[in-house]
Amino acid sequence: MEIKFADKIKADMAAFVIDQDLRLPKAAESFDKASGGVLSQALSSARFTGKNGQILSLVMPEACDARRVILLGGGAREKRDRLTCEEIGGALVKAEAKSGYKKLAVYTDTAEEAAYIACGLKLAAYRFDTYFTKQKPEDLPSLEQAILICPDTAQAKDMFEGLGAAIDGTYFARDLMNEPPNILYPATFAHRLKALEAYGVEVEVLGEEDMHKLGMGSLLGVGQGSAKESKLVIMRWKGGPKTSKPVALVGKGVCFDTGGISIKPSSGMEDMRGDMGGAAAVSGTLLSLAKRKAKANVVGLVGLVENMPDGNSIRPGDILTSASGQTIEVQNTDAEGRLVLADVLWYAQKYEKPSAIVDLATLTGAVVVALGHYHAGLFSESDELAAALSKAGETTGERVWRLPLAREYDRLLKSKFADMRNIGGRTAGSITAAQFLKRFVDEGMPWVHLDIAGVAWVEGEKKSTDPSWASGYGPRLLDKWIADNYEPSTS
């Protein structure tokens, strides 16, 4: 679906945001008149209160400039923030994308509202149809074009260009996540990242031989039962001053997680196609930054592996030597994400010299139990980083919630045979996983771990702006955090 901005246009459908006072906006008056008062009657007789998210779709007579008029509940004007507007746009696409009409005009009072609603439209219009060969025409969207009608179209367009780049990142992350694991495995994932070069991102791909030389026994251990070669992809976006250190974004990219020899139950295992959600988030963010030519230096590093049971797989009891030199007793081969991240974190610090690190990983089922699907778990010793990411999360709707790190949890990683084991105990599974990662982060390095196992795909009630299986969590959060904290402010 194409999105445009204009000050007036004729379209098949015209949508208006209605305040809770239920007054008809000026731009809607001509439609009301030509229809013999259908709009004002609808407002006074139907159960339409203007509450946010409400939608009332009205058929217009021939004499009108549109075949359909849609009234959108905008809620209280003073509460109409970015997320409220996104939901309005999302609800509109959900209700009318398959209406049979092609062209939609959305009228708003301000450029800001127009840009935010446009974001909602775009987020909700995402589809992943690659593998359907027999779709009925009525299941396909008819909507081809949405035009936002607002006072300052240049301003709206400008805003949307910035925000839209982050949504391109969301789309990219969703695509990577939704792909089935026979199609998207480490080598094909890496190949897709090569496409970022077209936007000015430097992309380097390391294979197993390179990683052997680096001593990355922990990451390689996870991949050794797979027929697919493991990869490490480094993506560098250099939009900031030459001398400033990059921010490093590190992602878990387990393209499929069977659990390995500690195999998972079969029910629901297909969801483990999404166990590369961290890597998808990092990749999407790099695309966002490049698309809007962000004035910051950011390096993304993704560890791509497949966790399979095989005669060559790692076993419970095996001891791996990580690139940092620390040894790890594998007590559960299903706790593989942390083994991958251990070596990628080491590489990030040794070769990219970052000023801060954020890692993202679908790391533990325990974080889903703790926080459900509406906040990622955040772990950090830096109050400042935690606060900045929380703020970006509230604005973008990709929310985070801080959980603790503490010495007592670290002790649960003690092993009889090696420097540590890869699981804690029965308790605090997300925290012990974070403590494990912390052992691979240099003293004093500002670091945040985001456990996104609950938010990378959402079960149950989903927003209209999250229409496919994968949510595409990450790029909007990280793009906003980088814009607010690592780029010169524009205003």
The residues carrying an active-site annotation are 264, 338
> In the bound complex, what is the minimum distance in angstroms from residue 432's beta carbon to ligand BES?
8
Cα 112 → chain centroid: 23
Interface region with Zn ion, contact rule CB under 5 A, candidates 63-71, 274-282, 372-380, 388-396 = 274-282
> In the bound complex, what is the minimum distance in angstroms from residue 188's beta carbon to ligand BES?
20
Tokens for 130, please give them: 């690659």
Q: State how beta strands 68-73 and 55-59 pair.
A: antiparallel
> In the bound complex, what is the minimum distance in angstroms from residue 66's beta carbon to Zn ion?
50
Selected binder of ligand BES within 111, 280, 282, 453 (CB under 6 A) = 453
Which does residue 364 bind out of ligand BES, Mn ion, Zn ion, none, counting CB within 5 to 8 angstroms by kind? ligand BES
Q: Is 453 in the site for Zn ion (CB under 5 A)?
A: no
Which does residue 453 bind out of Zn ion, Mn ion, ligand BES, none, counting CB within 5 to 8 angstroms by kind? ligand BES
Q: Give the residue with the Cβ less far from Zn ion, 45 or 267.
A: 267
Q: Is there a contact between 230 and 304 (Cβ–Cβ < 8 Å)? A: yes
Q: Alpha-carbon distance 19 to 51, whole Å?
A: 8
Count of residues binding Zn ion (CB under 5 A)? Answer: 4
Selected binder of ligand BES within 281, 366, 437, 455 (CB under 6 A) = 366
Interface region with Mn ion, contact rule CB under 5 A, candidates 99-107, 251-259, 354-362, 377-385 = 251-259
Cite the beta strand spans of 384-482 per DSSP E.
400-402, 420-421, 447-451
Interface region with Mn ion, contact rule CB under 5 A, candidates 114-122, 132-140, 160-168, 252-260 = 252-260
Which does residue 42 bind out of Mn ion, ligand BES, Zn ion, none, counting CB within 5 to 8 angstroms by kind? none
Give whole-number Cα distances, 247 to 339, 358, 407, 410, 478, in Å: 22, 8, 27, 26, 11
What is the per-residue binding string for ligand BES in 313-352, x denoting contact by CB under 6 A?
A: -------------------x-xxxx---------------
Among candidate residues 251, 434, 467, the one with its CA nearest the CA of residue 347: 251
Selected binder of Zn ion within 254, 280, 320, 437 (CB under 5 A) = 254
Distant-in-sequence, close-in-space partners of 360: CB < 8 Å, separation ≥ 6: 249, 250, 251, 252, 277, 278, 281, 282, 376, 450, 452, 474
Q: Give the residue with the Cβ less far from Zn ion, 221 or 337.
A: 337
Give whole-number Cα distances, 155 to 6, 79, 82, 396, in Å: 11, 21, 16, 20
Sheet strands side by side (includes 319-321): 319-321, 327-329, 420-421
Selected binder of ligand BES within 239, 429, 472, 474 (CB under 6 A) = 429
* Residue at shortest CB range from Zn ion: 257
Cα 332 → chain centroid: 28
Selected binder of Zn ion within 86, 257, 329, 451 (CB under 5 A) = 257
Angle at 437 between CA 431 and CA 443, to 5 degrees: 110
Q: Give the residue with the Cβ less far from Mn ion, 50 or 429.
A: 429
Which does residue 429 bind out of Mn ion, ligand BES, Zn ion, none, counting CB within 5 to 8 angstroms by kind? ligand BES
Q: Which of 137-162 are b and which e, b meaning 16 or more Cβ less than 10 Å from the residue's Cβ?
A: eeeeeebeebbbbbeebebbbebbeb
Selected binder of Mn ion within 86, 175, 306, 334 (CB under 5 A) = 334
Name the region of 100 (left: φ>0; alpha: ψ -120 to 50; beta: rest): left
> In the bound complex, what is the minimum distance in angstroms from residue 316's beta carbon to ligand BES?
10
Distant-in-sequence, close-in-space partners of 290: CB < 8 Å, separation ≥ 6: 196, 199, 200, 201, 237, 239
Selected binder of Mn ion within 179, 257, 410, 479 (CB under 5 A) = 257
What is the per-residue binding string for Zn ion in 213-252, x denoting contact by CB under 5 A?
A: ----------------------------------------
Q: Is 451 in the site for Zn ion (CB under 5 A)?
A: no
> In the bound complex, what is the minimum distance in angstroms from residue 463's beta carbon to ligand BES?
19
Which does residue 332 bind out of ligand BES, Zn ion, Mn ion, none, counting CB within 5 to 8 angstroms by kind? ligand BES
Task: Please provide residue 2's backbone torsions phi and psi, each rounded to the nearest 5 degrees.
Answer: -90, 140
Tokens for 27, please give them: 């731009």
Q: Which of residues 312-351 bind Zn ion (CB under 5 A)?
A: 337
* DSSP secondary structure, 52-120, as one string: TT-EEEEEPPTTSS-SEEEEEE---GGG--HHHHHHHHHHHHHHHTTSS--EEEEE-SSHHHHHHHHHH
Burial of 63 (0-12, 13-18, 19+ CB in 10 A): exposed
> In the bound complex, what is the minimum distance in angstroms from residue 339's beta carbon to ligand BES?
10
Q: Which residues bind ligand BES (CB under 6 A)?
A: 257, 275, 332, 334-337, 362-366, 368, 423, 429, 453
Q: Which residues bind Mn ion (CB under 5 A)?
A: 257, 334, 336
Q: Which residues bind Zn ion (CB under 5 A)?
A: 254, 257, 275, 337
